[in-house]
Amino acid sequence: MAIFMNEPSRTFGEYLLIPGYSSANCIPANVSLKTPLVKFKKGEEAEIFLNIPMTSAIMQSVSDDKMAVALAREGGLSFIYGSQSIESQAEMVARVKSYRAGFVNSDSNISPESTLNDILVLKEKTGHSTVAVTDDGSATGKLVGIVTSRDYRVSRMSPDTKVKEFMTPFEDLIYGDETTTLKEANDIIWENKLNCLPIIDKNQKLMSFVFRKDYNSHKNNELELIDSSKRYMVGAGINTRDYAQRIPALIEAGADVLCIDSSEGYSEWQKRVLEFVREKYGDKVKIGAGNVVDGEGFRFLAECGADFVKVGIGGGAICITREQKGIGRGQATAIIEVAKARDEYYKETGVYVPICSDGGIVHDYHITLALAMGADFLMLGRYFARFDESPTKKVNINGNFMKEYWGEGSARARNWQRYDLGGAEKLSFEEGVDSFVPYAGSLKDNVSLSLSKVRSTMCNCGCLTIPELQKNAKITLVSSTSIVEGGAHDVLLKDNRQIL
């Protein structure tokens, strides 16, 4: 007879936290959100930590190199999506690793033969008042001058005037080279009262700019996630088909950690990938596995050598796996069960294998709940898809700005490897949808707001660290009537906002 679990599986919206005693020391500024990303032995430290418990989903519509830089800057980590060619994924990883914070690729460029009118058109298009003049008009051509609004007067000059006649020529420019550090660049900018400093290579080709206006934003990132060479850290998704070729390319490109991306991870296919990594690289290469939703699946992957285990089936905002196949589990129950298995495994073996709650975060407080229920960190898709930094188009729908967000199991992503069970190399049916999510602005603003709520709630619970929250949180189930009580109710709202 089949095994029946008589308790229903539940999700975050069905729980609340009950406050604990908060001492005067329990203030948001004292909260640390540092959390282990990979397994470690009792008495030792994890080799990789996150400074905030957030990773971005292994999805085409979420995690490219731009997202990875923005999230690492805030202390989290992106897993660059694997549903692309090995070459283009490795290039994205390499771009993150070679990214120099504060050094911006020039996106307003012109040739010396262009005219004042071309400058005005370009300024209108990009909104930038500094234009690099390069021999071929490209972002990486030989730098021959710079044009800023101080170089021309529209009322006194003919629109046909050639750029070379009014630009500030290279001979008069102050510039940096490949060896210039960000601190040196900023010092040069301040000492010479410049607005920007062009950086060139030994052949006078333009590499990047450092801008005065960015100075403060680079001073503000004390949580940024960097490796021992001060490069941003980045992860990458892999699959159980082409891993023997993909993994070496990603490691060569500089990926700090890998994760097997699969809708269902309790399988021999994942075991084979983990064995491949351990045989070829020992413990040097870090790799997570998943997804699972119970203790049995966790133990299997932990015993196969996974560095972390990802939890969640069917809870993603764009996921229709539960409807299509009837498999999955409420995300809260899945996390609670897997966290129990992780703790038992730790007691037995002395090895702590972190778990990641993947998918289903709708409100900021769900992040705190997931951590309190035992997650060490989270993976989010919809959340990050809403930001400027996600790779998708921003569109206006009925007067509201939206960003596109599609599932890896949708026909659009065509990521059959994620759903692969060793059969035909195709997606037999869709397990995800193509959708829009409301545009929300910059990653930095949103992440700092969400985490300020997490820190505040942790203080209400009397906890200053994630392990303290996991140990001491008091969590209660809520009835559907008390959920109604939790929102604004029995009042007539003065503005037109809808309470959703």
Q: What amino acid positions are annotated as catalytic residues?
A: 319, 418
Closest CB to ligand MZP: residue number: 432
**What is the contact mask toward ligand MZP in residues 357 to 396, using x (rule: CB under 6 A)?**
-xxxx-----------------xxxxx-------------
For residue 242, count other CB atoms closer than 10 A to its CB. 14
- Sort 486 into a burial class: Cβ within 10 Å, 0-12 / 13-18 / 19+: exposed
For residue 202, count other CB atoms closer than 10 A to its CB. 7
Residue 241, C-beta contacts closer than 8 angstroms, at least 6 positions apart: 417, 420, 425
Q: Which of residues 42-71 bind ligand MZP (CB under 6 A)?
A: 57, 59
Taking Cα atoms as reference points, which of 177, 170, 174, 169 lies closest to residue 200? 177
Establish if 341 lies at the interface with ligand MZP (CB under 6 A): no
**Contact residue for ligand MZP among 407, 427, 461, 466 (CB under 6 A):** 407
* Min dist. Cβ of residue 290 to ligand MZP (A): 8
Identify the three-state secondary structure at position 153: coil
Establish if 409 lies at the interface with ligand MZP (CB under 6 A): yes
Closest CB to ligand MZP among residues 317, 459: 317
Closest CB to ligand MZP among residues 13, 407: 407
**Contact residue for ligand MZP among 83, 240, 410, 446 (CB under 6 A):** 410
**What is the contact mask toward ligand MZP in residues 426 to 465, using x (rule: CB under 6 A)?**
-----xx---------------------------------
**Contact residue for ligand MZP among 180, 240, 321, 392 (CB under 6 A):** 321
* Min dist. Cβ of residue 346 to ligand MZP (A): 25
* Min dist. Cβ of residue 314 to ligand MZP (A): 7
Distances (CA, A) of 70 to 52, 225, 232, 385, 387: 13, 10, 10, 13, 10
* Min dist. Cβ of residue 213 to ligand MZP (A): 33
CA–CA separation, 317 vs 384, rounded Å? Answer: 12
* Min dist. Cβ of residue 430 to ligand MZP (A): 8
Can you say how many angstroms the Cα of residue 389 is from the centroid of all Cα atoms in its chain? 9
**HEC string for 62-125:** CCCHHHHHHHHHHCCEEEECCCCCHHHHHHHHHHHHHCCCCCECCCCEECCCCEHHHHHHHHHH
CA–CA separation, 48 vs 257, rounded Å? Answer: 9
User: Does the bond joining 291 to the residue before it have cis omega, within 30 degrees of 0?
Assistant: yes
* Min dist. Cβ of residue 327 to ligand MZP (A): 12
Closest CB to ligand MZP among residues 227, 434: 434
**Can you give the binding site for ligand MZP, defined by CB under 6 A?**
57, 59, 316-319, 321, 358-361, 379-383, 407-410, 431-432
